[in-house]
Structure 1
Amino acid sequence: MPDRLLLRRPDDWHLHLRDGAMMQAVLPHSAARFGRALVMPNLVPPVRTAADARAYRQRILAALPHDTRFAPFMTLYLTEDTDPDEVALAHASGAALAVKLYPAGATTNSHAGVRDLDAVRPVLERMAEIGMPLCIHGEATDPDVDIFDREAVFIDRVLRPLRRRVPDLRIVLEHVTTQDGVDFVRDTPRHLAATITAHHLVLNRNALLAGGIRPHLYCNPVAKRERHRLALVEAAVSGDRRFFLGTDSAPHPDSAKLSPCGCAGLFTAPVALSVCAAIFEAARQLPRLEAFVSLNGAAFYGMAPSADRIALVRGEAWSPPAAIPCGEDRVTVFDPGFPLHWRVEESA
C-alpha cells in the first residue's frame, strides 16, 4: 500500500463553523485541510436571506488566518415563511449555494425548522426550476418514532413523497447513517446524493453507550447498529459518485457537552481526513479516496475539482490535541478510538 497520497484538495460539503469566538477557534482547522466547504446556517438567529448569507460569509473570510485559501459556500435556513423569490435571488447572486431543511426539533438550533412540508412546497418547486440543491437533515421528529429509526422513517414518510411531488428537485441527504439511506440513494436514478461523515464511518451505537455514556461521541443523527456502519463504509469506498464527504464537524464547548442535557455534535475537522484515509486503507481502496473527499461532491454541485493539491502521508502514529481552547472554555477533538497514521503534509 502507498505511504503518500497526492490528492486534489478536499472539499467539506457539510460544515458547522458557528460564529464569534467559536468560529475563530475552529475555522483554522478546516481551512488548513479543506479548500472549500458548505457552511450550515443554523446560527441564532439563523441565516435566512441573501443578506444574512453575505454577512456571514464576510465574517468567515475576516476570521481566516492570513495566506489561507479557503472558500466558504453558504446555505439558507428553510422556514415555513421563506420566500421563493428570496431563495431565487440568493441563488442568482451567488449569495447561497443551497438551502438547508431542518425538521423542527431535529438537532442544534432547529426549532425554527419545517413542521409542514406542504408549507414550503412553493420554495421547493422554485428551487427545482433553478437547479438549486436542497440539503436535508433526514430525521423524523415525531415523538412516537424511536431515535434509532428516525432516518428510515423520514425516508418513508417524507423523502419518498417529496421525490414524487417535486421530482426535479436536486437533493442531498445529509450525514446518512443507515443501510436504508444508502439503499434509497442507490435506488434513485437522478437528482439525489448523500454526504457521509468520517465519524459515522467508525462509530456504532456501542461506542456511545456500551460501558458508560460517552458524551463526546454523541451526535445527531446518532450512530446506529454495526450493520449500518458497515453499509456506510461500503458506500464510501465503492467509488459511487453519489456519495461524498461532509464532515458535519459540529463544535460545542465542553461545558455544553458535559451537562445534564448535553449538546449533539462532534468536532472532527482536525482528524476527518486522517480517519477517512484509515477507513479506505483498511478496505484496501486508497485509490478511491480522492473521489470521495475531492471529486464527487464538486461534481454534484456542478463545480470543477480544486486545482490545489495536498499530500496525505502515512507514518508513525500521531495524536491530535485532546481539545482546543475557545475563550474560557475548550472544545474536545473527536477521538476515533484507534491510532492515526495518515496526516496532511504541511509542506504539500
Structure 2
Amino acid sequence: MPLDALNGAKLPASADFHVHLRDGKMMELVVPTIRKGGVNTVFVMPNLVPPVTTVKHALEYKAKLESLEPNVTFLMSLYLHPSITPETVAEAAKAGIAGIKSYPAGVTTNSSSGVLSYESFYPVFAEMESQNVVLNLHGECPSDHDAGITVLTAEERFLPTLLDLHRRFPKLRIVLEHCTTAAAIDAVKSCGPNVVGTITAHHLRIVVDDWAGDPFCFCKPVAKTPADRDALLRAVVSSDPKFFFGSDSAPHPATAKRGGDKVAAGVFTQPYATQLVLDALEAAVGRGLLRADEVSNERLQGFLGDNGRRFYGLDAERNEFIVLKKAGEIVQSSLQTPDGELEVTPFRKGEKTWSLAFV
C-alpha cells in the first residue's frame, strides 16, 4: 500500500485550526470526539445562535467546552459583527481571544449577521493589527447571478478582497479559511508572511461531482474541480509554512442533511480528523499525483500542527504524541446522544480509515 512506511509512525498530536463545536446537545455529543481524531488543540468558530460577539460570551463558551474535555486546548474567537469595536478588540487581546472570524452575510450556516461591507470595519482591523489579533476570513462572495457569482466561483471572486485587505493592513495576520481552489493557494502564496491558509480533510478528497450527489459531502465553500483538489494536496506536502490544517468539521443533525426545504451545509469529520488527511494523501499517492516519500513525517508534522501552532504563537504546552496505525478501522455510521434524539453522520461513513492512539 502507498503509505505503509507510516504504519507505526509517531507524530505530535494534531492541531485543528477550524472547528464547529456548536452548543447544547450537539456540543455535548461532538466535543468528546476531538481527541479520537488525534487532536489536542482546536480553534473554535463563533457562529452560534446568537453569535459570539463579546469576550464574556467567548469565555463562558470556553468554560463549557473545557468542562466537557479538559485535555484539549480551546482557542476562542469572536464573530465579526457591527457591535465589534476597537475597544472590543483590545479587550479580546487582553483575554487571550485568538481571532475574529468574518462571515460574508448569508453564505453559510448561521451567517445571517455577517459582513456586508469590509470598509466599515477598517478601524477594527487597524486595532487587530496593533493588538496582534488574527482575522479569520470565510473567503467567499455571496452568490449574485447577475454578476456571475455562484457557489463554484464564490471563492475565486473573493480573492481580490483578501489582497486588498492585506495591502491596507500589511501587518494584520490573516487566515484564508478552508481553501478550495488552486487560485486561493496562489493568492495566499502571493501575499506576505502574515497571510496563511487552512485546508480541510474533506476538500483533499472530494470534488464537485461528490457533493452534487451526496448531501453528506455538501459544505460551504463547496468542493471544486479535480485540478483544484490536486493543488490542495500538493500544498499539504509542500513544506510551505503558509498552509496548515483546519478541518471545518461542521456537525448537523442527520435529518438536516437528508432532506427538507434545504440541505444544511457542513461535513462532520471531527472523530477522524487526522485519519482522513492520511486517507486523502494515500489516495493521491495511489493515483500517482504524489510520491510516497513526499508524505513524510516531517511534512505531516508541519501541516497537522507545527505550521499552525507557530502562526498562532502557541507553545508546546500539551507535549503529546500519537501513533499512526493501519488496522482496518471503519468510520462509524453515526453518532447519537444517549436518548437517541440527535444523530450525526460522519464523513465517509462505513469506509476504511487509518487508526491512531495517543502515547
Q: Scaled by the length of structure 1, what TM-score is found?
A: 0.93
For 1:1-348, what aligned pairs fall within 5 Å after superposition? 1-32=5-36, 33-64=38-69, 68-94=70-96, 96-144=97-145, 145-156=149-160, 158-209=161-212, 213-260=213-260, 261-281=262-282, 282=285, 283=290, 284=292, 285-287=295-297, 288-305=299-316, 307-326=318-337, 327-335=340-348, 339-340=352-353, 342-345=354-357, 348=359
Q: Could you list the per-position Cα deviations for residues 47-72 of structure 1 after superposition, in whole angstroms to 9, with x for gaps in the alignment? A: 001101011111111222xxx51111
Report which stretch shifted further, 327-336 or 304-313.
Answer: 304-313
Q: Could you give the per-residue CA deviations for residues 7-43 of structure 1, whole angstroms, max 9, x where no partner exists? A: 1111110000000100110001113421111000000
> Match of 1:55, as an amino acid?
E
Instruction: State the Cα deviation string for residues 96-145 of structure 1 (Å, max 9, x = none).
Output: 11000001111100000110111111101100111111000000014231
Q: Secondary structure at the match of 1:271?
A: helix
Separation in 2 of the partners of 1:165 and 1:336?
A: 44
Q: How many angstroms does 1:88 deviate by?
A: 1.2
**In the aligned structure 2, how far is the partner of 1:152 from the partner of 1:75?**
25
Q: Which moved more, 1:315-324 or 1:192-201?
A: 315-324
Using the TM superposition, give the Cα deviation of residue 272 of structure 1 relative to its aligned residue in structure 2, in angstroms: 1.9
Cα separation, 1, equivalents of 2:264 and 2:220: 9
Quick one: distance in 2 between partners of 1:83 and 1:343? 45
Give the Å deviation of 1:86.
Answer: 1.0
Q: Distance in 1 between matches of 2:14 and 2:317?
A: 8
Query: How many pairs are equivalent?
Result: 338
- TM-superposed CA distance for 1:160, in Å, is 1.7
Q: Residues 334 and 349 of structure 2 are in contact (CA less than 8 Å); yes or no, is this contact kept in structure 1?
A: no
- Pick closer, same or farther for the CA change 1:262–1:171 going to 2, 3 Å: same
Once residues 193 and 93 of structure 1 are traced to their aligned partners in structure 2, the CA distance between those partners, rounded to angstroms, is: 24
> Helix, strand or coil: the match of 1:147?
coil
What is the alpha-carbon distance in structure 1 between the residues aligned to residue 129 and residue 348 of structure 2?
A: 39
Bigger shift: 42-51 or 182-191?
182-191
The whole-number CA distance in structure 2 between the counterparts of 1:339 and 1:286 is 21
Runs of 4+ in 1 over 6 A off after TM superposition: none
SS at match of 2:67: helix
- Aligned Cα RMSD in Å? 1.5
Instruction: List runs of 5+ in structure 1 lacking aligned partners.
Output: none
Maintained 8 Å contact 2:325/2:356:
no
Structure 2 residue runs of 5 or longer lacking an equivalent are none
Matches of 2:336 and 2:318, distance apart in 1: 33
1:148 alignment partner, SS class: coil
More deviation, 218-227/255-264: 255-264
**Deviation (angstroms), 1:93:** 1.9
CA distance in 2, matches of 1:306, 1:92: 20
Residue type of the partner of 1:115? L
What amino acid does structure 1 have at the position aligned with 2:52? V
What is the distance in 2 between the residues matched to 1:343 and 1:258? 28
Alignment partners' CA distance in 2, 1:335 and 1:24: 22
Cα distance in structure 2, aligned partners of 1:198 and 1:337:
17
